Amino acid sequence: YSILAMIAVAYICYWTGVLLIECLYDNKGEKVRYSYREVAEFYRPGFGKWVLAAQLTELLSTCIIYVVLAADLMQGCFPSIGEI
């Protein structure tokens, strides 16, 4: 099931990218939108702020997980640090 889930997620990500590229350009091939927020505003006015909030939350979460992983790695390398 894991391999099928990975293939399904990869397929969904691929088609999401294709659809986003189609939303960035008009019929003449000129770029008319430059960000996910602009795409969301075009799709549904007022929805862009939610997309921006989701992006910022994801970026903040990524920074936090890197700090947690670095601390866990340091504790694994130097066990005496965790005894403070």
pLDDT tens track for 32-73: 988 888 888 888 888 889 988 998 999 999 999 999 999 889
Residue 15: predicted pLDDT: 92
Two tokens, residue 67: 């700090």
Per DSSP, 44 falls in state: S
Separation CA 58–CA 40 (nearest Å): 17
Q: What is the pTM for the complete model shown?
A: 0.58
Residue 65: predicted pLDDT: 94
pLDDT of 25 > 70? The answer is yes
Residue 11: φ, ψ to 5°: -65, -45
pLDDT of 8 > 80? The answer is yes
Q: Is 31 helix (H, G, I), strand (E, B) or coil?
A: strand
